[in-house]
Chains A and B, each alone.
Chain A
């Protein structure tokens, strides 16, 4: 008979210290490009041209990046004259609308019940979402639970650009959640349609179909970025910005 208890004990605790402390273990996040001041307009033009999803736009003396569109293709990094800053870290989640009242933390307390919907995700976002359950990230210690029924859920976690056949199941699941509810869209596809939408077969992201509260950019967002998105819902962490400006920071519509 295999002794699983012993095996478990021997393995010890591997869980990240985030959110109480930082986590900078190698490989937990691919990092991402951020708005950067550049030396010339030719360098700006090259980056704007190279970006396949129009995530990069000229901004002052450099470029700004719409993180919802960035698909981590590295084409602004590799083989260019002046790459933008590639920033490590994972606190990428942001509120869609900064003005909307967010008094949900008090209602939800510190615990969340989550319902997941796959709206046509490629598998990488789902794989990363699954990892928040693994012992490294262990979402249960933060009071986050997956619930089998939408009627008990506070949060709808959605990945994918919303394929045509998932539009109806997605809106029906959304309606089945009791209010107050929050929608967390994970990944570039969910945030903007990514490389797939808009097209005849897919929408331009979750917001095309149901209202979104929190976006977690990334292609795919690493597990800690998804946890950051959930922590945003209960206001236990400050948000990042959807637009990363050359001057470094403030959120503004383009």
Chain B
């Protein structure tokens, strides 16, 4: 792994990036700029795709955000989106393929290839579009018992079609690599002994130590992207909020931002400020839940109770302010629904202050609990190089030294004008992730206070929403990391394509890096220190 950031080329604004693109790829690809979205579009053919992806990620330090596949009557459209930092534009590499071809070049063998890996596998599985050169295509979202040759995301597939329950158990036989005498693979899941989400883990072990973990997801695949098609945005919003109920506001917001971008409307200032407040309230609760999970995994009973009390307190506070414990129904295209009174704001500020204090006390006590630290330190390590090449996001990436945060990189709501910092740790172990969670929770509380102290008056929702055809990519920093929502509306104003790339999808891909060569009893701790949601990943 040589130098991952070789920043000698100027990507610092849209105009200079466009210039760079035109000089570097003269006569090879067409680059154009979209000022309104601060996006640079690069149209390229199959023969140049790999070079462009390599140039963006290895040479210029861009991170891969998402791959969107669209099926038009005459062709396939593949959109690769990249982001970098607050100054650089968003880059969209677009590739058109003949409808009859259905083959695209794979880019997974590049240095940053792993970040594309699951995207290619998903598109192959759901659309039946082949990626030439990918070593592991096949059963991914759809398990082995799914009917051969049926690709649910294709236009001609009926989302309402119901399948007969299958009685044969799917045969999941991933290639095991551990061959030492006495080696065996221990399956865990998909049903667990506790309140855990459905997923399957195969632990390859030669006794006490686990050598490698092979996870399998998508037990919870509900076809959200498919069933959103044909629905008006206000119905699709229900899906955006509910596919991952513990990050409902973040995903609802991302969806609404996409609709606003398509329809060219801007929420009023008060709405933008309240969006930041509610998003941070959700992050605070989500981080408290993750902290509860980590304490619980180390069997530290009093700390678990303390963290759980904080979590429940935040749930109640959220319910008092928004009417719902998980912020369902709080955001709409054009603004927000709930309009807290001055009394509500004072109550919120005071309560968040107390909660911050309790969190600080909890961290102090955890710091001096050596039996607790012993179980987290040097456990489940993800290095910075790994985090970069897998394109990891959120608190997990930030605990491994990658200081990326969508609130800074592609600011939305009022984050561009609000002062806050992005906590970063270097060790990449369970303890680093715990510290990042605590530090981010404190930042969230700070943002809530700052925004509430200068909350603008006025309307909370724009009433100019006129649906029209178009497409937009929107990004938010959800509690677990970067989330990208691509929405296309047809002429009737209905959703014709909805593509969600949630942080849990991105980060579960990197989980196996942290779950290598560890003592068996550490598995729950590594799992908890990742704190991801399968509902969010599986969709």
**A residues touching B (Cβ–Cβ < 8 Å)?**
1-5, 7-8, 11, 14, 25-31, 52, 71-75, 78, 116-131, 133-136, 146-149, 160-161, 163-169, 173, 194-202, 209, 219-220, 222
Assembly CA distance A154 to B306 (angstroms): 30
Within 8 A of A (CB), among B203-244: 218-224, 226-227, 234-235, 238-239, 242-244
**A11 surroundings in chain B (CB, below 8 A):** 305-306, 309
> Does A161 lie within 8 Å of B222, measured CB to CB?
yes
Of the listed residues B143, B163, B221, B247, the one surrounded by the most CB atoms of chain A closer than 10 A to its CB is: B221
> Does A26 lie within 8 Å of B316, measured CB to CB?
yes
Q: Is B527 an interface residue (CB 8 A)?
A: no
> Does A27 lie within 8 Å of B309, measured CB to CB?
no
Assembly CA distance A221 to B162 (angstroms): 28
Contact of B220 among A166, A173, A195 (CB under 8 A): A166
The 7 closest A-B pairs by CB, nearest first: A124-B245, A27-B316, A148-B193, A201-B223, A122-B245, A134-B308, A27-B319
**A125 surroundings in chain B (CB, below 8 A):** 245
Q: A30-B325, A168-B167 are in contact. List 7 more A-B contacts (CB 8 A).
A: A122-B535, A127-B326, A135-B305, A148-B193, A165-B170, A196-B242, A202-B223
**B219 surroundings in chain A (CB, below 8 A):** 120, 163, 165-166, 169
**B222 surroundings in chain A (CB, below 8 A):** 120, 161, 163, 196-197, 199, 201-202
**A116 surroundings in chain B (CB, below 8 A):** 192, 194-195
> Does B243 lie within 8 Å of A165, measured CB to CB?
no
Contact of A166 among B198, B226, B366 (CB under 8 A): B198
Assembly CA distance A30 to B245 (angstroms): 15
21 residue pairs from A and B, CB less than 8 Å apart: A4-B369, A26-B320, A27-B317, A30-B325, A71-B328, A72-B324, A116-B194, A118-B220, A120-B221, A122-B245, A124-B248, A126-B197, A128-B325, A163-B538, A165-B190, A165-B218, A165-B221, A169-B219, A195-B238, A200-B158, A201-B152
**A52 surroundings in chain B (CB, below 8 A):** 234-235, 238
**A119 surroundings in chain B (CB, below 8 A):** 198
> Does A123 lie within 8 Å of B198, measured CB to CB?
no
**A201 surroundings in chain B (CB, below 8 A):** 152, 221-223, 226-227
Would you give the shortest CB distance from A242 to chain B, in whole angstroms?
21
Assembly CA distance A202 to B460 (angstroms): 36
Closest to A188 in B: B242
Closest to A25 in B: B316
> Does A123 lie within 8 Å of B195, measured CB to CB?
no
Closest to B223 in A: A201
Closest to A26 in B: B320
**A71 surroundings in chain B (CB, below 8 A):** 238, 242, 328
Given known contacts A1-B370, A2-B365, is B162 in contact with A167 (CB within 8 Å)?
A: no
Interface of A is mostly: loop
**A161 surroundings in chain B (CB, below 8 A):** 222
**A8 surroundings in chain B (CB, below 8 A):** 302, 305
Q: Per-position contact with A for B154-188: 1 when CB-CB < 8 Å, else 0?
A: 00011111110111011000000000000000000
> Does B248 lie within 8 Å of A2, measured CB to CB?
no
Would you give the shortest CB distance from A60 to chain B, in whole angstroms?
28
Assembly CA distance A197 to B369 (angstroms): 47
Closest to B239 in A: A195
Assembly CA distance A131 to B303 (angstroms): 15
Would you give the shortest CB distance from A162 to chain B, in whole angstroms?
10
Interface size class of B (residues with CB under 8 A): 35 or more
Given known contacts A27-B318, A136-B309, is B242 in contact with A194 (CB within 8 Å)?
A: yes
Assembly CA distance A200 to B151 (angstroms): 11
> Does A164 lie within 8 Å of B193, measured CB to CB?
no
**A130 surroundings in chain B (CB, below 8 A):** 195
Assembly CA distance A45 to B159 (angstroms): 29
> Does A74 lie within 8 Å of B337, measured CB to CB?
yes
> Does A168 lie within 8 Å of B169, measured CB to CB?
yes
Would you give the shortest CB distance from A58 to chain B, in whole angstroms?
22
Contact of A1 among B192, B289, B369 (CB under 8 A): B369
Q: Is B536 an interface residue (CB 8 A)?
A: yes
> Does B220 lie within 8 Å of A72, measured CB to CB?
no
Assembly CA distance A194 to B219 (angstroms): 18
Q: Is B496 an interface residue (CB 8 A)?
A: no
Q: Is B191 an interface residue (CB 8 A)?
A: yes
**B306 surroundings in chain A (CB, below 8 A):** 7, 11
Assembly CA distance A124 to B328 (angstroms): 10
> Does A7 lie within 8 Å of B238, measured CB to CB?
no
**B244 surroundings in chain A (CB, below 8 A):** 122-123
Closest to A3 in B: B365
Assembly CA distance A1 to B219 (angstroms): 43
Within 8 A of A (CB), among B319-336: 319-320, 323-326, 328-329
Closest to A5 in B: B302
Q: Is B507 an interface residue (CB 8 A)?
A: no
**A209 surroundings in chain B (CB, below 8 A):** 165
Within 8 A of A (CB), among B346-370: 364-370
Q: Is B28 an interface residue (CB 8 A)?
A: no
> Does A124 lie within 8 Å of B221, measured CB to CB?
no
> Does B162 lie within 8 Å of A129, measured CB to CB?
no
> Does A72 lie within 8 Å of B329, measured CB to CB?
yes
Q: Is B312 an interface residue (CB 8 A)?
A: yes
Assembly CA distance A2 to B364 (angstroms): 8
Of the listed residues B152, B157, B195, B368, the one surrounded by the most CB atoms of chain A closer than 10 A to its CB is: B195
**B368 surroundings in chain A (CB, below 8 A):** 1-2
Given known contacts A123-B533, A127-B245, is B198 in contact with A169 (CB within 8 Å)?
A: yes
Q: Is B196 an interface residue (CB 8 A)?
A: yes
**B323 surroundings in chain A (CB, below 8 A):** 30-31, 74
Would you give the shortest CB distance from A209 to chain B, in whole angstroms?
7
**A199 surroundings in chain B (CB, below 8 A):** 159-160, 162, 222-223, 226-227
Would you give the shortest CB distance from A188 to chain B, in whole angstroms?
9
> Does B316 lie within 8 Å of A28, measured CB to CB?
yes
> Does B197 lie within 8 Å of A123, measured CB to CB?
yes
> Does B223 lie within 8 Å of A4, measured CB to CB?
no
Q: Is B246 an interface residue (CB 8 A)?
A: yes
Closest to B289 in A: A127
**B308 surroundings in chain A (CB, below 8 A):** 131, 133-135
Q: Is B472 an interface residue (CB 8 A)?
A: no
**B197 surroundings in chain A (CB, below 8 A):** 118, 121, 123, 126
> Does A134 lie within 8 Å of B309, measured CB to CB?
yes
**A135 surroundings in chain B (CB, below 8 A):** 305, 308-309
Assembly CA distance A119 to B538 (angstroms): 12
Contact of A160 among B220, B300, B328 (CB under 8 A): B220
